[in-house]
Amino acid sequence: MAEGVCRFGVLGPLVLERDGEVVALPSGHQRSLLALFLMAGGVPLSRDRLIDELWGERPPSSAVSALHVHLSKLRELLGDLVVREPAGYALQAGRFELDCLQFETLLAEARTDPEQARELLVQALALFRGEPLCDVACEGSIAQWRRALAEKHLQALLLRVDADLAAGLAAELVAELESLAAEHPFEERLRGQLMLSLYRAGRQADALDAFARARRDFATELGLEPGEQLSRLHARMLAQDPTLLLAVVAAATADQSA
């Protein structure tokens, strides 16, 4: 293996870039094994843990030898980046880059820097190339990691929408939020953002209808009423609370003074 900086991507199909060039990755258990090492972040994984993750509760009698074959193939690809330690096998910490760690850094910065939050969130979301690890066939821990990454993507989207709403971009958000609400029908915060974008875009009747649809969906599918925050937002819209439009007024004032 040629020396170079390895950068792995898990926010979409699993990819490896070395010195800016995409490197072909193996398929099957070797790809799953690599994903497990990336998830562990340099923490060694025991032989038994790896076998359990790759083959489940009923591994074949050849599992130990098969694991060694897969490890050997990964070493051919990654060289001494794959190491064996007393506690098990791992990727050497500090010797590789990982896109989800970059995402976490940008997300943390956005949470602590309101002025730059939107720009940072746009950068973070741009790292996603599709469903995380969508080409890795593995259950157990990898499946849990995949779901956690997808949830973090959604939370970053919600934060970016909040920033857009604060910037007075309500009308521009409606189509995106309608699509997201259809994809995540029981995410109350998303439903509230859709209602608010419609309301601030001058579509008050549509905003109230969005609440009615949410209430109907929750009752039909979950047997529940909308939560307190969504119900409170609905009540403020019925009362035509002027503070719901403060962001629009502030954005217009800023545009006029620019």
- Using pLDDT thresholds of 50, 70 and 90, give the confidence band for residue 253: very low
The dihedral of CA 102, 104, 105, 110: what is its sign? positive
pLDDT in tens, 83-128: 999 999 999 988 899 999 999 999 999 999 988 999 999 999 999 9
User: What integer is the mean pLDDT of 69-86?
Assistant: 93
User: Long-range contacts: 160-165, Cβ < 8 Å, 24+?
Assistant: 160/118, 160/121, 160/122, 160/125, 161/190, 161/193, 162/193, 163/117, 163/118, 163/121, 164/118, 165/193, 165/196, 165/197, 165/200, 165/247
| pLDDT for the residue numbered 63 | 93
Pull the structure tokens for residue 230.
């969504």
| pLDDT for the residue numbered 248 | 53
Q: Which amino acid, residue 188?
A: E
Pull the structure tokens for residue 171.
């009308």
- Using pLDDT thresholds of 50, 70 and 90, give the confidence band for residue 3: low
pLDDT in tens, 185-223: 999 999 999 999 999 999 999 999 999 999 999 999 999
Residue in 125, 134, 138, 137 with CA at minimum distance from that of residue 99:
125
Residue whose pair of structure tokens reads 């997808």 in the numeric block? 150
- Using pLDDT thresholds of 50, 70 and 90, give the confidence band for residue 4: low
Residue 126 neighbours by CB distance under 10 Å: 11
How far apart are alpha carbons 73 and 54 in whole angstroms? Answer: 16
Which pTM value belongs to this model? 0.87
How far apart are alpha carbons 235 and 2 in whole angstroms? Answer: 63
Pull the structure tokens for residue 115.
């002025």
Task: Tally the C-alpha atoms within 13 A of residue 50's C-alpha that lie toward its C-beta.
Answer: 30
Asked if 157 contacts 54 with a C-beta cutoff of 8 angstroms, the reply is: no
